[in-house]
């Protein structure tokens, strides 16, 4: 299963199929480049109807990647700029989340009663 199959895409406003396809391909590319398992979640793309809005395109992605939840928001002037920004942010946030989880697993030492090192303030020679 690819990320493309597991991420539901919702559109609000006048969002054409070409723009949705490009956004899907960029999100999929972010995960392929990292070599991560496919993500599951929702990508919501909104195009504002008001003409005076400076950045009418916005997207919010809420994705489950392994044990981490990645939430990304981006706003841009065009659909292609939005897709490019979204790809960069999804990749960065997924890397951060997985790095945090990996670092937390590696940094946890077992407590002394499970064979871990005694704390620096413990005196193991006094017998008390």
Which band of pLDDT confidence, cut at 50, 70 and 90, is reported for residue 88? very high
Which band of pLDDT confidence, cut at 50, 70 and 90, is reported for residue 10? very high
> For residue 106, what pLDDT is reported?
56
Rounded to 5 degrees, what angle do the CA atoms 119, 125, 128 make?
85
Of 47-61, 78-92, 106-120, where does mean pLDDT reach its minimum? 106-120
> In the predicted model, is pLDDT for residue 81 greater than 70?
yes
Which band of pLDDT confidence, cut at 50, 70 and 90, is reported for residue 50? confident
> 60: which 2 tokens?
């919010």
pTM score of the predicted model: 0.70
Average pLDDT, the chain: 81
CA 60 vs. chain centroid, Å, equals 11
Q: How far apart are CA 59 and CA 43, in angstroms?
A: 7
């Amino acid at each position: 299963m690819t990320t493309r199959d597991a991420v539901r895409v919702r559109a609000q406003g006048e969002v054409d199929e070409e723009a949705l396809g490009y956004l899907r391909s960029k999100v999929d590319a972010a995960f392929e480049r990292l070599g991560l398992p496919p993500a599951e979640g929702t990508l919501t793309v909104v195009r504002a109807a008001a003409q005076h809005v400076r950045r009418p395109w916005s997207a919010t992605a809420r994705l489950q990647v392994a044990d981490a939840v990645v939430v990304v928001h981006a706003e841009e002037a065009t659909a292609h700029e939005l897709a490019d920004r979204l790809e960069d942010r999804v990749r960065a946030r997924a890397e951060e989340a997985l790095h945090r989880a990996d670092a937390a697993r590696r940094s946890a030492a077992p407590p002394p009663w499970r064979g871990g090192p005694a704390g620096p303030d413990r005196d193991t020679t006094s017998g008390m």
